[in-house]
């Protein structure tokens, strides 16, 4: 019994101290370092920042309603809840993998009744034997080489990857909510503009029809009225198109927020404004905080530990077993000191031939490591592309919005001049209708570009992994 107690006491201490460290740690350090070396010192268009929550960048949009929508989405979105459940699973798997480092202790109770045949000389005197056992069994594999510890490290790395996936899901969900809310605000602004266009064209149509009723140049007046009616009908069709876009965006936003798509969400009520321009000189180190890149590196680490554990399977395994308990022929005697029993045993197992299974496992885990390494490399390149594209688009969209603002102002001025000249008879109706359409198209394009710039800013924060 004292030996058993000694083994049970020391084994948790010994289990975490394998003689061999994880194999290949230096190789992984070199692989990851080479990937980090591919990053430019600074982005070509873009300050060292501090870590913040996935929603810390929402202040850049100057909209309390936008933060309200994002908070509701993060609280109720089913996909985010599923990511949280996956994180809980990963934590449980880490505990399961670490359990092998500790001894297995189990208690049991057994009872048997056995009859032995009588001897030849005493026919009919059968022997009946009762046996009752109350043992406590201890079994433990000594992790001398660190194989089990490698498996636990692999599970722990997968847990960290799941945590990064969860943070990434929150960030992605916040960006999706911003994009959808901005799309709804854009659709509402376009609907308002289309309704104003219809109202203006109806007033113009009344003027055209009055001129036709005067009977002056009836052929020309009839043509003007027909052209005006055609443009009015097209404007009314545009209104229905804008209403459908508003309805679709409302339902999409409601689903994101985990609610029934009833089409009743009011949204932002208008396009928010950006607080500031993108700061110049953002360092490439910002990418190191991206949840997807951190998760990819954790999965690479997990694959490395699994490869190390597979290689250590070639080494012998040592297992200790012990038993302590009571046994007697009567249940009343189980607790007396004379009924005590104990045993200690150990065995060493060395595999010599398994048909190539262990070697195949090593090759499989090495290939999995290479797969994760290339996946990580591809994620880094994709991150570079997303950031550079969003940075360049921010400049293009800003300049485009400024040009469209000038276009809209001139188009509205042209419409005012054309309407005045038409009322004086100095120009035809085609010039008036064309000027009106140009003004409408310019304002509509400006709304679209302003909304696209807001969506692109959300994409930039997603690509950078948070705020500036």
What distance separates the 2 farthest-apart alpha carbons in the chain? 145
Q: Is residue 49 part of a domain?
A: yes
* Phi, psi for residue 113 in degrees, rounded to 5: -135, 125
Q: Is residue 120 part of a domain?
A: no
- Strands (E) across 397-440 are located at none
The residue segments making up the domain with residue 331 are 2-115+128-464
Query: Which strand (E) or helix (H) includes residue 204?
Result: helix 147-214
**Residues 46, 278: contact at Cβ < 8 Å?**
yes
Burial grade of 295 (CB within 10 A; 0-12, 13-18, 19 or more): buried
Q: Is residue 121 part of a domain?
A: no
CATH number, position 343: 1.20.1600.10
Q: Is residue 123 part of a domain?
A: no
**pLDDT at position 455, please?**
96
* Phi, psi for residue 24 in degrees, rounded to 5: 90, 10
**pLDDT at position 185, please?**
96
Q: Is residue 55 part of a domain?
A: yes
User: Which pair of tokens denotes residue 290?
Assistant: 């991206």
137, 331, 404 from 336: Cα distances, Å: 20, 10, 97
**pLDDT at position 33, please?**
72
**pLDDT at position 50, please?**
46
**Residues 166, 85: contact at Cβ < 8 Å?**
no
Q: Is residue 105 part of a domain?
A: yes
Consecutive sets of 10 residues in the chain, 468 residues long: mean pLDDT of each?
Answer: 39 47 74 67 42 75 92 93 93 89 83 66 60 80 86 92 92 95 96 92 80 70 83 92 95 94 91 88 76 91 90 86 76 69 83 85 91 91 91 94 94 88 78 85 94 95 87
CA angle 189, 195, 199 (to 5 degrees): 145
**pLDDT at position 170, please?**
92
Q: Is residue 195 part of a domain?
A: yes
Domains identified in the chain, total number: 1
Q: Choose among 395, 394, 400, 438: nearest CA to 416.
A: 438
Q: Is residue 139 part of a domain?
A: yes
Burial grade of 77 (CB within 10 A; 0-12, 13-18, 19 or more): buried
CA angle 453, 445, 269 (to 5 degrees): 65
Burial grade of 299 (CB within 10 A; 0-12, 13-18, 19 or more): buried
Query: Which strand (E) or helix (H) includes residue 5?
Result: helix 2-15
Read off the pTM. Answer: 0.80
What is the rounded CA–CA span in Å between residue 394 and residue 278?
8
CA atoms 99, 100, 102, 105: torsion sign: positive
């Amino acid at each position: 019994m004292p030996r058993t107690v000694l083994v049970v006491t020391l084994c948790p201490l010994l289990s975490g101290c394998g003689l061999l460290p994880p194999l290949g740690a230096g190789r992984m350090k070199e692989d990851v370092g080479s990937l980090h070396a591919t990053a430019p010192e600074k982005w070509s268009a873009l300050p060292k920042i501090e870590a913040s929550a996935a929603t810390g960048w929402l202040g850049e949009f100057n909209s309390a309603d936008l933060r309200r929508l994002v908070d509701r989405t993060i609280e109720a979105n089913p996909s985010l809840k599923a990511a949280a459940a996956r994180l809980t699973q990963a934590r449980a798997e880490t505990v399961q993998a670490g359990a092998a480092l500790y001894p297995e202790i189990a208690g049991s109770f057994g009872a048997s009744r056995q009859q032995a045949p009588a001897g030849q000389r005493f026919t009919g005197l059968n022997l009946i034997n009762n046996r009752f056992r109350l043992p406590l069994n201890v079994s433990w594999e000594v992790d001398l080489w660190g194989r089990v510890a490698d498996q636990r490290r692999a599970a722990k790395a997968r847990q960290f990857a799941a945590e990064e996936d969860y943070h990434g899901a929150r960030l992605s969900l916040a960006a999706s909510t911003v994009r959808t809310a901005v799309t709804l605000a854009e659709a509402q602004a376009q609907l308002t503009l289309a309704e104003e266009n219809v109202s203006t064209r109806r007033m113009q149509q009344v003027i055209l029809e009055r001129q036709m009723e005067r009977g002056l140049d009836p052929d020309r007046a009839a043509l003007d009225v027909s052209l005006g009616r055609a443009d009015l009908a097209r404007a009314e069709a545009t209104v229905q198109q804008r209403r459908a876009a508003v309805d679709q965006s409302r339902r999409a936003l409601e689903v994101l927020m985990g609610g029934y798509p009833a089409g009743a969400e009011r949204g932002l009520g208008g396009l928010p404004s950006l607080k500031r321009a993108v700061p110049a000189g953002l360092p490439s180190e910002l990418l190191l905080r991206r949840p997807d890149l951190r998760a990819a590196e954790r999965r690479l680490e997990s694959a490395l530990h699994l490869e190390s554990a597979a290689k250590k399977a070639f080494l012998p395994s040592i297992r200790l077993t012990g038993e302590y308990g009571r046994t007697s022929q009567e249940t009343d005697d189980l607790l007396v000191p004379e009924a005590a029993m104990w045993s200690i045993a150990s065995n060493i197992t060395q595999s010599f031939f398994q048909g190539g299974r262990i070697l195949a496992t090593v090759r499989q885990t090495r290939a999995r490591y290479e797969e994760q390494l290339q996946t990580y490399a591809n994620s880094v390149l994709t991150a570079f592309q997303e950031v550079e594209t969003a940075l360049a688009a921010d400049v293009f969209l800003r300049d485009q919005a400024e040009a469209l603002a000038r276009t809209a102002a001139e188009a509205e001025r042209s419409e005012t001049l054309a309407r005045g000249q038409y009322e004086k008879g100095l120009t035809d109706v085609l010039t008036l209708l064309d000027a009106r359409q140009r003004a409408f198209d310019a304002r509509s394009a400006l709304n679209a570009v302003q909304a696209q710039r807001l969506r692109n800013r959300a994409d930039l924060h997603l690509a950078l992994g948070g705020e500036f």
